[in-house]
Amino acid sequence: MYQISIAQTYLDLAILINGGMDTILLVLLGRLLKLPIRLSRISMAVLLGEIPVVVAYYSLPPWTLFIKWLIPFLMVFVAFPTTRLNAFLKEIVGFWLLSAGLGGFVYASWGWAQFDGGVNKERLILVINRVWILPLGALMWWLLQRLWQRWQEKKSFIGRNIFDLEINFGGDEQGVIQIKALLDTGNHLRDPLTGYPVILLEEEVAASAMPENIKAFLDIPWKDYADPWPLLWKVNPELVKRLVFIPFQTIDNKSWLLGIRPDSVTCFGAEGTQQIHATVALVRQVLSSEGEYQALLHPEHVQKGGDG
């Protein structure tokens, strides 16, 4: 009877600890992924998380392994229900990563503090001497959480401000490119002749769709000229209709960007498809190191429906 009482106490303790950890994990997951946190759903998910503890306690080998794999899926689905497969996979992966991180931290802290040896006088001094590990671990955990939140906020911002563009430079189908453009509120460039807002586009991306006469002009060292406008008349007067030099100010001096007037620019956004008036300026640097976008939109292309 005594042994049963002790075993029951250990089961209660395991259920309590497991429930507390599951609650922390689910709430933290919801905050990191900016999911709606509902106490009723979190409570139901935590109750589901107690099933593997009970099954392991009563030693039911045929079901233990299966339930250990199944329950996390059910917990995440109950806590944060979704019909989108990619969103659910993101949630379950996040739950596993947090579980591994928190579990590893607790296990390491337990071992480093040497709680397993008992709490006699000598051990108690040792624990006190090493108690700094716990706040240090908590600080590291908080910093990682903040970094994750900032990364999520950045991804969320970029996702809301990225648009699909189709730019037709003229000619056959090879003159059309499809890219992603980020709305850049700091882009105030305009075509000096037409007044159209400017789209900044990576030159390497545009090269595959540019007509041959424009490609040939890019090989000319026009940037060495203080005023490159006369080159258009000298090299090919027909290019005056298609090319334009857009002035911009750097910290050191005034410079130029080579602009191309495309046949058409189509923007695909949440409000539908629309044609926008724009001149495309070429830049040599990569605009997004992660390849999330290849161009920068002028604010007027969104604010005024692209009538520029």
Residue 175: burial class (beta carbons within 10 Å; 0-12, 13-18, 19+): middle
Model's pTM, two decimal places?
A: 0.52
Q: Is 184 noted as a catalytic residue in this protein? A: yes
Quick: pLDDT tens for 110-124. Answer: 554 554 444 444 444
36, 95, 160, 187 from 300: Cα distances, Å: 34, 41, 16, 10
Quick: pLDDT tens for 228-244. Answer: 888 888 888 888 888 99
CA torsion 209-213-216-220 (nearest 10°) is -120
Beta carbons of 67 and 48 less than 8 angstroms apart: no
Quick: pLDDT tens for 166-221. Answer: 999 876 667 889 999 988 888 889 998 899 999 999 998 888 888 888 888 888 88
Q: Which of 12, 164, 172, 184 is catalytic?
A: 184
pLDDT at residue number 28: 82
Beta carbons of 297 and 184 less than 8 angstroms apart: yes
